[in-house]
């Protein structure tokens, strides 16, 4: 049986392997880490500038947890997508330049490392551009329950452009690491329709039984790490201790069978 714990760490001087994209899509590589691309100076500058946006940070409460975010996430708005685009337009002018520049830089690195011909923020014909990234804050004591991200399922029937993708991937940039905890744990199990019996309506995520006896891959992000994984595989974030874990993230979806073109959103 394959061992599902092989995180692959790459640095900017490594030769790009043409199989990496397929390896992440299939979770042969459960987590691909780009280390040494982003400097400490840049991540520190972004974190410092984020304090200007305190008023725009939102906390979404659920019976089993809360999500603290800067910028909209589409999964929250699938029944009223126009509100997602409005929130995105309202917040865009308030985001610091350092964050916007980093976002562009990360898109470019991801495109090169995965040998994509294009990676662009998704556009909705009537509603405009999607949000290109989100900042997530996990303060001391916060965890994220077991879940998976699958926009084709979550926005089914909405007609949104992102529901046309063939595969969904997640990119996360660690801007500030926590002192302890905060590991990302990915399970060797992809969501399937009959897992819905493990969902409690209204709550975040799924009951633990859905990943019973599945292999796992655990990763403690360090400041400056950029990591990629397939979020349709179950995953969770362990309780954070100490400093707030701050990340910038976006999803991207491959739009063609040859896996050369991708659109991104948060
Ligand atoms: O912050 C992380 O490590 C993972 C965030 C997450 O759940 C995702 O990107 O789907």
Domain ranges of the chain: 8-265
Looking at residues 84-93, what average pLDDT do you find? Answer: 96
Looking at residues 176-199, what average pLDDT do you find? Answer: 96
pTM: 0.96
Ligand 1 geometric centre to CA of 164 (Å): 22
Ligand 1 geometric centre to CA of 3 (Å): 22
> Quick count: other Cβ atoms within 10 Å of Cβ 186?
26
Residue linked to tokens 């640095």: 11
What are the structure tokens assigned to 162, written together?
């992102």
Ligand 1 geometric centre to CA of 259 (Å): 22
**Angstrom distances, CA of residue 7 to CA of 55, 145, 234:** 37, 21, 16
Ligand 1 geometric centre to CA of 172 (Å): 6
pLDDT at res. 1: 52
Angle, CA of 244, 132 and 231, to the nearest 5°: 65
Ligand 1 site, CB within 6 A: 144, 149, 170, 172, 184, 231, 235, 237, 247, 249
Angle, CA of 247, 34 and 149, to the nearest 5°: 50
What are the structure tokens assigned to 243, written together?
């400093």
Ligand 1 geometric centre to CA of 202 (Å): 20
Return d(Cα 95, Cα 211) in angstroms, integer. 38
Looking at residues 227-243, what average pLDDT do you find? Answer: 98
Q: Which of 184, 225, 245, 253, when mutated, tests ligand 1's pocket best, judged by the most ligand atoms within 8 Å of its CB?
A: 184
Q: What's the pLDDT tens digit per position in 33-78?
A: 999 999 999 999 999 999 999 999 999 998 888 899 999 999 999 9
pLDDT at res. 48: 97
Q: Which atom of ligand 1 is nearest to the CA of 171?
A: 9
Residue 243 burial by CB count (10 A; 0-12/13-18/19+): exposed, middle or buried?
middle
Nearest CA to ligand 1 atom 5: 172
Average pLDDT score over the chain: 95
Residue 143 burial by CB count (10 A; 0-12/13-18/19+): exposed, middle or buried?
middle
Range of lowest pLDDT (6-20, 138-152, 183-197): 6-20
Q: Which atom of ligand 1 is nearest to the CA of 247?
A: 1
Asked if the model's pLDDT at residue 238 lies above 90, the reply is yes
pLDDT at res. 98: 97
Nearest CA to ligand 1 atom 9: 170
Ligand 1 geometric centre to CA of 252 (Å): 13
DSSP code at position 133: -
Ligand 1 geometric centre to CA of 186 (Å): 10
Q: Which atom of ligand 1 is nearest to the CA of 251?
A: 9
- Homologous superfamily of the 8-265 domain (CATH): q2cbj1_9rhob like domain (2.60.120.620)
pLDDT at res. 82: 96
Q: Which of 174, 235, 236, when mutated, tests ligand 1's pocket best, judged by the most ligand atoms within 8 Å of its CB?
A: 235
pLDDT at res. 200: 86
Return d(Cα 205, Cα 203) in angstroms, integer. 6
Asked if the model's pLDDT at residue 2 lies above 70, the reply is no
What number of helices (H) and strands (E) belong to the chain? 5, 18
User: For residues 9-33, b (16+ Cβ closer than 10 Å) or e, as one string?
Assistant: ebeeeeeeeeebbebbbebebbbbb
Ligand 1 geometric centre to CA of 132 (Å): 15
């Amino acid at each position: 049986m394959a061992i599902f714990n092989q995180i692959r760490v790459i640095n900017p001087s490594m030769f790009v392997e043409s199989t990496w994209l397929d390896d992440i899509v299939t979770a042969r590589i459960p987590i691909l880490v780009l280390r040494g691309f982003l400097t400490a100076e840049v991540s520190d500058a972004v974190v410092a500038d984020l304090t200007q946006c305190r008023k725009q940070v939102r906390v979404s409460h659920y019976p089993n947890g809360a999500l603290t975010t800067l910028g909209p996430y589409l999964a929250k708005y699938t029944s009223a997508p126009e509100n997602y685009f409005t929130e995105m337009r309202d917040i865009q002018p308030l985001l610091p330049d350092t964050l916007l520049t980093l976002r562009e830089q990360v898109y470019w690195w991801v495109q090169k490392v995965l040998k994509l011909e294009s990676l662009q923020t998704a556009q909705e014909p009537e509603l405009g551009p999607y949000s290109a990234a989100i900042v997530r804050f996990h303060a001391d004591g916060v965890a994220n329950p077991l879940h998976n991200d699958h926009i084709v399922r979550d926005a089914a029937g909405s007609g949104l452009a992102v529901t046309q993708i063939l595969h969904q991937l997640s990119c996360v940039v660690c801007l500030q690491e926590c002192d302890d905890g905060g590991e990302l744990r990915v399970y060797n199990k992809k969501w399937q329709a009959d897992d819905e019996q493990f969902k409690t309506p209204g709550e975040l995520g799924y009951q633990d039984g859905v990943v019973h006896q599945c292999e796992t891959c655990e990763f403690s992000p360090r400041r400056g790490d950029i990591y990629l994984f397939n979020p349709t595989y179950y995953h969770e974030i362990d309780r954070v201790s100490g400093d707030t874990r701050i990340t910038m993230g976006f999803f991207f979806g491959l739009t063609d069978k040859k896996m050369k073109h991708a659109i991104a959103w948060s």
